[in-house]
Amino acid sequence: MELQFLGTGAGTPSRERNVTSISLNLSEYNRGSWLFDCGEGTQHQILRTPIKPGKIEKIFITHLHGDHIFGLPGLLTSRSMNGATEPLTLYGPVGIKTFVETSLQLSGSWLTFPLEIVEITAGEVCNDEQFRVTAFPLTHPVECYGYRIDEHDKPGALDAERLKADGYLPGPYYYDLKQGRSVTLDDGRVVNGWDYVGSTIKGRSLAIFGDTAPTAAANDLAAGVDLMVHEATLEVAMEEKANGRGHSSTVQAARVAKESGAKRLIITHLSSRYLRQDCERLLDECRAVFPATEMAHDFAVFVV
């Protein structure tokens, strides 16, 4: 899996950073991609990436501030104008349905694909064959969530050589055995897949925070994840100002990563006051607390 940052700025776009949007590439599963937030200009950013709007399966919105949702009407209508027919599911806090439907109605827009809009609360958001997504409430002036993505554990490798040695020749039933199922062969023999499958491979986990001041839910959201994405709107010297507006400082983001047992931290959602030359200083503030910290820039790609 890969995370690509389409926008890494807070509040307003700058010359160096667009407003928030993140893409999760699921091509290793022969699937498309998911988006997390869709700030203004997201569809323009997508034009500079391999992302295909028609292959976006799900969009998860953390909250309804403009820098996280104003790109939605344009992306949805452009997806239609390009002839997309694949369904798309949009998740977000209460109000996201009204925002999207009103925008489409007042602009006389129409969609060529089925759009399902799910207004969420804390708890499980969706669960399919590969992933479970859970929403956690954060601390912000409006209702806001962070999303935890847990990949389901996978069966270990199938020991095909031992199967053949035991007289079970290769065939389509090997797929069922790899899933740990029991298979009855034509000659009546029953083969238990778990007898030939190695140790379970633990699924990967990812936490994507929306905007938040320090919050009680943070450690549960990010507990032991392989990769954590957290806002770091302002430097530590401006921590009081950040918290007063429902945001976090660099050091506070790093503390969450350390206390939750996350393996890696990526900071994003930086104030437009910071220019490229400020980045190392902000990154150093995080690394003093949590060394495995990286900073996202627009179009940066990170492997999960």
Please name the residue that has the structure tokens 């207004």. 119
Q: Catalytic pick from 37, 67, 211, 298?
A: 67
Tell how far CA 260 is from the center of its chain: 18
- What pLDDT does residue 180 have? 83
- Which residues partner with 124 through β-bridges? 134
Torsion of CA 76, 77, 78, 84, to 10 degrees: 70
CA distance 304 to 296: 14
Q: Mean per-residue pLDDT for 201-217? A: 96
Nearest to 257 by CA among 296, 221, 290: 290
Distance CA 184, CA 142 (A): 56
State the pLDDT at residue 138.
98
Q: What pLDDT was estimated at residue 71?
A: 98
> What's the pLDDT band for 154 if we cut at 50, 70, 90?
confident
pTM for this model (two decimals): 0.90
Contact (Cβ atoms closer than 8 angstroms) between residue 236 and residue 249: yes
β-strands 115-119, 88-92: how paired?
parallel
Whether 201 has a pLDDT exceeding 90, the answer reads no
Please indicate whether residue 187 is annotated as part of the active site. Answer: no
* Averaged pLDDT score across all residues of the chain: 96
**Cα-based distances in Å from 147 to 111, 173, 211, 298, 301:** 27, 37, 12, 21, 19
Closest CA to 19 of 199, 233, 280, 245: 233
Q: How far is CA 192 from CA 158, 174, 178, 199, in A?
A: 12, 11, 10, 15
Q: Residue 179: pLDDT above 90?
A: no
Contact 158, 177 (CB under 8 A): yes
Band (pLDDT 50/70/90 cuts) for residue 199 is confident
Question: What tens digit of pLDDT does each residue of 100-123 get?
Answer: 999 999 999 999 999 999 999 999
Which structure tokens are listed for 40?
């203004």
Q: Above 90 in pLDDT, residue 287? A: yes
For residue range 66-83, what is the model confidence (pLDDT) as tens digits?
Answer: 999 999 999 999 999 999
